[in-house]
């Protein structure tokens, strides 16, 4: 993840972290979740190009044993007519040679394999950006925050 943080800093993309004070752990494949976050941070960075804001929020609902992760950017957003297609394998809005169209499909699969959900919202308006919401089941073991550290 250090590489993406370098790219974010280089492009003057401000990162805001809003983590609840007590986040329970999760039982998960650490490498898969790292891949999920790397894909999402890279997509956000690509959408913002320069001088944007990436907000990462993590909250928990202990009664239901759920962890909520939201990753929001101030990039170009996803037009409404394209939004239903962006999680299809090999669908990309990036220029040829820039993306494979697998990133979001892989992210959704990883979330689902961890018995979670993966949702995307976007108004398709430049500057309004895109929000990704991931819900995962929590446990008394594991450490989610460490996965998002550089």
Residue 114 phi, psi dihedral angles, 5° rounding: -100, 25
pLDDT digits (tens, 9 = 90+) for 31-86: 999 999 999 998 898 888 788 999 999 999 877 889 999 999 999 888 888 888 88
Looking at domain 2-141, which of 3.10.105.10, 3.30.565.10, 3.90.180.10, 3.40.1010.10 is its CATH number? 3.30.565.10
pLDDT digits (tens, 9 = 90+) for 120-135: 999 877 778 999 999 9
pLDDT confidence band for 147 (50 / 70 / 90): low
Cα distance between residue 57 and residue 2, in whole Å: 19
In 3-state terms, what secondary structure has residue 132?
A: strand
pTM above 0.95, yes or no: no
pLDDT digits (tens, 9 = 90+) for 8-23: 888 899 999 999 888 8
């Amino acid at each position: 993840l250090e590489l993406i943080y370098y790219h974010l800093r280089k492009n003057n993309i401000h990162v805001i972290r809003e983590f609840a004070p007590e986040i329970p752990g999760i039982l998960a494949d650490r490498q898969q979740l790292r891949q999920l976050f790397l894909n999402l941070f890279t997509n956000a960075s690509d959408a913002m190009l320069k001088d944007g804001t990436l907000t990462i929020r993590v909250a928990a609902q202990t009664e239901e044993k759920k962890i909520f992760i939201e990753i929001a950017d101030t990039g170009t957003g996803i037009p409404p007519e394209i939004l239903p297609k962006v999680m299809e394998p090999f669908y990309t809005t990036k220029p040829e040679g820039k993306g494979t169209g697998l990133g979001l499909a892989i992210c959704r699969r990883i979330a689902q394999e961890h018995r979670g959900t993966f949702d995307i919202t976007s108004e398709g308006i430049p500057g309004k950006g895109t929000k990704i919401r991931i819900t995962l089941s929590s446990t008394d073991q594991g450490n989610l925050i460490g996965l998002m550290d550089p």
